[in-house]
Amino acid sequence: MTTQSRTTQNRIERDDIEAKLRELTSDVNEQAASARSKVITGGIIVVVLTVVLVFLLGRRAGGKGTTIVEVRRF
């Protein structure tokens, strides 16, 4: 091998950099998509639990506020 052929083999070209960046961004995009679906699922669960909790607390508070008066005649 000559010195000239050795330097052309070790030289980093634009295509090499673009290929590596595409590889890295595809990995990041896959991980982001996976995390996004988990966050959406968790958010939906939190919203449903909050609505159920508010419903139950409101129902309980509404039941406490009513007064039943029974009138009897003798």
Decide if 20 is inside a domain: yes
Q: Is the pLDDT of residue 34 over 80?
A: yes
Q: How many domains does the chain have?
A: 1
pLDDT digits (tens, 9 = 90+) for 17-28: 999 998 888 888
Decide if 72 is inside a domain: no
Decide if 69 is inside a domain: no
Q: What range defines the domain where residue 53 resides?
A: 3-61
Return the C-alpha torsion angle 19, 23, 25, 31, nearest 10: 180
Decide if 11 is inside a domain: yes
pLDDT digits (tens, 9 = 90+) for 52-70: 999 988 887 766 666 778 8
Radius of gyration of the chain (CA): 34
- The residue type found at 16 is D
The CA distance from 34 to 43, in Å, is: 14
Output the six-digit token pair for 74: 């003798």
Decide if 35 is inside a domain: yes
pTM over 0.75: no
Decide if 73 is inside a domain: no
